[in-house]
Amino acid sequence: MLCDENDLIALPDELTYADGAQVACGFGTVYEAIMKVGVSGNDSVLVVGLGPVGLAALMLSKAMGANRLFGVDMNEGRIALAKKLGLVDEAFKPSDDVVAKIKQANGGHGVERAFDASASDPGRQTAIRATREWGKIAFVGEGNSVTFNPSPDIIHGQKSIYGSWVTSLANMEDLVERLVRWNIHPEDLITHRFALKDADKAYALMASGNCGKVAVVFDGTENA
């Protein structure tokens, strides 16, 4: 594949091709959102939707020093993966009282930062309502809609909602430098690898949700 040099990001020796392949999409998208809302050691963070983008949000928030990490997903396998990778302090399945459970786990308070990667109306509502006063919420999941009551959900709590979509070449360059500095590898999120001839199976598995990141590879490491 031929590309213009000014469209390329140099991949540091410390990162694999599987690391780099995720910078432009999942990790770059999340990094852009994190840059908008800001995450530091002062913050507890909630991620709703623990697919590859949500897991990337947790991984980067942890590297940036978030003091508490919470996740919400309906898929037990994805909750188990987040726990296995050490990316959540606590994780919950969606329920009528999930916001109350998150606040209880966070000392009775909402989180300072929330990310929705579920692209679902209930998931977005959870992200909004589990965020404390003056908190910031980023929507990165594509599609669908959201329903909330502006006064109690946003205005009275002085909350801010940010939309975030993909990222820039400059931020991708910044991100690969920090991945090395933080010694974290997007490749760790890959649970399944397929050869190119089996790409249809890779897409079907991804659509099922019973996986982490799915990779289509060219180097003979499929099923690794």
pLDDT above 70 for 223: no
Q: Are 179 and 11 in contact (CB under 8 A)?
A: no
| Residue 141 placed within a domain | yes
Q: Are 32 and 171 in contact (CB under 8 A)?
A: yes
Give residue 220's pLDDT: 77
| Residue 193 placed within a domain | no
Cβ of 20: how many Cβ atoms within 10 Å? 19
| Residue 71 placed within a domain | yes
Residues 89-118, mean pLDDT to the nearest whole number: 98
Helices 121-129 and 98-105: crossing angle, nearest 10°?
Answer: 40
Give residue 100's pLDDT: 98
pTM assigned to the model: 0.96
| CATH number of the domain residue 133 falls in | 3.40.50.720
**pLDDT tens for residues 163-208?**
999 999 999 999 999 999 999 999 999 999 999 999 999 999 999 9
Give residue 46's pLDDT: 99
Give residue 1's pLDDT: 76
| Residue 37 placed within a domain | yes
Please give the tally of structural domains in the chain. 1
- Residue 121's pLDDT band, with cuts at 50, 70 and 90, is very high
Amino acid at 199: A
| Residue 35 placed within a domain | yes
**pLDDT tens for residues 1-27?**
788 988 899 999 999 999 999 998 899
Backbone angles phi, psi at 218, to 5 degrees: -125, 5
What domain range is 149 assigned to? 25-163
CA distance 162 to 116: 10
| Residue 114 placed within a domain | yes
| Residue 188 placed within a domain | no
pLDDT above 70 for 113: yes
3-state secondary structure the chain: CCCCHHHCCCCCCCCCHHHHHCHHHHHHHHHHHHHHHCCCCCCEEEEECCCHHHHHHHHHHHHCCCCEEEEECCCHHHHHHHHHCCCCCEEECCCCCHHHHHHHHCCCCCEEEEEECCCCHHHHHHHHHCEEEEEEEEECCCCCCCCCCHHHHHHCCCCEEEECCCCCHHHHHHHHHHHHHHCCCHHHHEEEEEEHHHHHHHHHHHHHCCCCEEEEECCCCCCC
pLDDT above 90 for 106: yes
Percentage of the chain exceeding pLDDT 70: 99
| Residue 38 placed within a domain | yes
Give residue 120's pLDDT: 97
